[in-house]
Amino acid sequence: MKTKKIIMVELVETNVFSRWHCTVCDGCTNPVSVLAEGKDGKRAIRVCEQCLEAAEIDKRLAATAAAHERHAAYLRSLVGRLRVPTYAAWKARSQQCARWSPDGQHRYRPCPKCKGTGENSFQWTGTLSQFEVLWDCLRRSPDSIRRRR
């Protein structure tokens, strides 16, 4: 689906302070008041401020496309090989582990394998919606965890 049609990406003010998916690097924007947005038919295109700062849009797009191709090949290699628990088993286990506090805070108990002393221990003290935003951003760009360390 290659076309030579030029897509104009413009700076757009927003009052929705959220993290938005970046089409170029597959990461996400910070909660900012100005977004770089465009349209390709019905598809929205956004460019995060990190990509704008780097200014090598085509190079970053090519790297993202290559990463997607590698990931797609990996996913195809998994077809027919995964044996996963049922949703009912997951739900029962998550109800054993998770606790809701009266103020809407979702907290995780320490990892049962290491009793909270090893690298698998994790306690989230934010709200569930804050965790979902963080998880969505990390899911789209898992390398961002390594870059920030």
Q: For the segment 77-133, what is each residue's pLDDT rounded down to a tens digit?
A: 999 999 999 999 988 877 766 554 444 455 555 555 555 454 444 555 566 666 666
Task: Please report, for residues 29, 33, 35, the alpha-carbon distance to residue 12 in angstroms, rounded to integers and kept in the order given.
Answer: 13, 8, 5
Residues 57 and 100 in one domain: no
Residue 136 pLDDT > 90: no
Residues 24 and 70 in one domain: yes
Range of the domain at 74: 1-78
> Which residue in 59, 55, 8, 9 sits closest to 36, CA to CA?
9
Q: Which of 78, 103, 132 is the last residue of a domain?
A: 78
Residue 140 pLDDT > 80: no
Residues 98 and 143 in one domain: yes
Q: Which of 49, 78, 107 is the last residue of a domain?
A: 78
Residues 5 and 67 in one domain: yes
47-72 pLDDT per residue, tens: 999 999 999 999 999 999 999 999 99
Number of domains in the chain: 2
pTM: predicted TM-score of the whole model, two decimal places: 0.57
